[in-house]
């Protein structure tokens, strides 16, 4: 399987596609944004002008899309993947969406005799660039086995959670709930340190070898807060979306999760103030 289609060439999709090109795959990409498409061309991929053209030239199609609406459009839309794909061309969504959407797409795929995996990823842009992502896959074992060599190009830690299509998404939403907690914790802790005249670089050196250490502290501080640059990365609005999905799972499970609920309110209000397109680390600037 050497010809891969890739739909959604944003912060994650572009480096994932470039990684496939670097590893000897031919990648046919598609994005609504012309600039994103041109970036893939520069990285050695080919650009399609429609979903249908991607399908025509690809043995396997991956997607990395920013919202439920975009995923529905690309898979279920009139000119979408399911209308165009043929049996034997697996469709693999790496976006983070609500689990019920994985189930809906999987059911429509079954009606069309198409294979589908819901395979969200973690590790951020850095993980996509370095091809070290963690991939959490839900779906049939035989489709997973077929796609595994491609997952192993994208990432270092590949998990087939189980055959339930939304199982990878559930794990990913739990991961992102923790990211929401850590990002808020780092933001408030560093604001307090600043007020108490503690140098933030020195604080990082000390806490990085203490129990206050976390990968999110390292990422948010080193790449964004210390640089005073909040170009994403992982945008705050995408994290807010994932927290909404996690809270829907909590509601379904009759769990109150009061701290998670107040976190979601915090991220919603910062997004409403106009910070949604900046990296999630910008929360630090908003908790003074
Ligand atoms: P992004 O907004 O940077 O990129 C999304 C891309 O999809 C954009 O280039 C956009 O033009 C394109 N797009 C939107 N609708 C489209 C359509 N109908 N047809 C074709 N292209 C379309 O988002 P991202 O940060 O790359 O995230 C993508 C997915 O990966 C999201 O579901 C996100 O939650 C998840 N994710 C992101 C990160 C991260 O660190 N950024 C990490 C893990 C998972």
Measured distance CA(270)–CA(282) in Å, rounded:
9
Measured distance CA(54)–CA(48) in Å, rounded:
6
8 CA to middle of ligand 1, Å? 6
Percent of the chain with pLDDT strictly greater than 70:
100
Average pLDDT over residues 262-287: 98
Q: Which of 5, 7, 10 to mutate to test the pocket of ligand 1 (most atoms within 8 A of CB)?
A: 10
Measured distance CA(92)–CA(95) in Å, rounded:
9
Rg, C-alpha atoms of the chain: 19
Q: How many CB atoms lie within 10 A of CB 64?
A: 27
Cis preceding-peptide flag for 211 (omega within 30 of 0): no
Q: Are 236 and 270 in contact (CB under 8 A)?
A: yes
65 CA to middle of ligand 1, Å? 4
172 is catalytic: yes
Tell me the three state secondary structure of residue 103.
helix
Please give the pLDDT value at position 89. 97
Establish whether residue 13 lines the binding site of ligand 1, counting it when its CB lies within 6 angstroms of any ligand atom. yes
> For 9-54, how does the pLDDT look when each residue is reduced to its tens digit (9 = 90+)?
999 999 999 999 999 999 999 999 999 999 999 999 999 999 999 9
> For 232-252, how does the pLDDT look when each residue is reduced to its tens digit (9 = 90+)?
999 999 999 999 999 999 999
Residue 71 has pLDDT above 90, yes or no: yes
Please give the pLDDT value at position 1. 81
Q: What are phi and psi of 113, to 5 degrees?
A: 60, 35
Residue 124 has pLDDT above 90, yes or no: yes
Mean of all residue pLDDT scores within the chain: 97
From the list 172, 195, 237, 241, the catalytic residue is: 172
Give, for 11, the enclosing helix (H) or strand (E): none
Measured distance CA(100)–CA(148) in Å, rounded:
24
Measured distance CA(167)–CA(179) in Å, rounded:
19
Q: What are phi and psi of 55, to 5 degrees?
A: -60, -40
pTM beyond 0.75: yes
Average pLDDT over residues 77-83: 97
Alpha carbon 147 to its chain centroid, in Å, reads: 18
Q: Are 51 and 84 in contact (CB under 8 A)?
A: yes
7 CA to middle of ligand 1, Å? 9
Establish whether residue 31 lines the binding site of ligand 1, counting it when its CB lies within 6 angstroms of any ligand atom. yes
Please give the pLDDT value at position 88. 93
Establish whether residue 38 lines the binding site of ligand 1, counting it when its CB lies within 6 angstroms of any ligand atom. no
Measured distance CA(286)–CA(104) in Å, rounded:
37
Tokens of 18: 């470039």
10 CA to middle of ligand 1, Å? 5
Measured distance CA(272)–CA(115) in Å, rounded:
39
């Amino acid at each position: 399987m050497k010809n891969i289609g890739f739909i959604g060439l944003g912060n994650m999709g572009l480096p994932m596609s470039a990684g496939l090109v670097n590893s000897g795959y031919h990648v046919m990409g598609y994005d609504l944004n012309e600039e994103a498409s041109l970036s893939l061309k520069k990285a050695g991929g080919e650009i399609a002008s429609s979903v249908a053209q991607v399908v025509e030239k690809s043995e396997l199609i991956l997607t990395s899309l920013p919202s439920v609406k975009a995923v529905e459009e690309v898979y279920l839309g009139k000119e979408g993947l399911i209308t165009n794909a043929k049996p034997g061309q697996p469709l693999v969504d790496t976006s983070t969406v609500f689990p019920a959407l994985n189930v809906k797409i999987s059911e429509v795929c079954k009606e069309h005799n198409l294979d589908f995996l819901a395979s969200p990823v973690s590790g951020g842009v850095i993980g996509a660039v370095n091809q070290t992502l963690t991939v959490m896959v839900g779906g049939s074992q035989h489709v997973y086995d077929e796609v595994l060599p491609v997952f192993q190009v994208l990432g270092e830690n590949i998990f087939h959670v189980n055959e339930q299509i939304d199982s990878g998404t559930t794990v990913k939403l739990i991961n992102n709930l923790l990211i929401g907690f850590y990002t808020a914790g780092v933001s408030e802790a560093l604001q307090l340190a600043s007020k108490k005249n503690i140098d933030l670089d020195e604080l990082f050196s000390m806490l990085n070898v203490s129990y206050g250490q976390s990968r999110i502290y390292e990422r948010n501080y080193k790449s964004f807060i210390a640089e005073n640059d909040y170009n994403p990365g992982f945008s705050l609005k995408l994290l807010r979306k994932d927290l909404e999905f996690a809270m829907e799972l909590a509601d379904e499970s009759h769990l109150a999760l009061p701290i998670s609920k107040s976190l979601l309110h915090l991220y919603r209000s910062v997004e409403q103030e106009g910070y949604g397109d900046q990296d999630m680390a910008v929360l630090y600037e908003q908790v003074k």
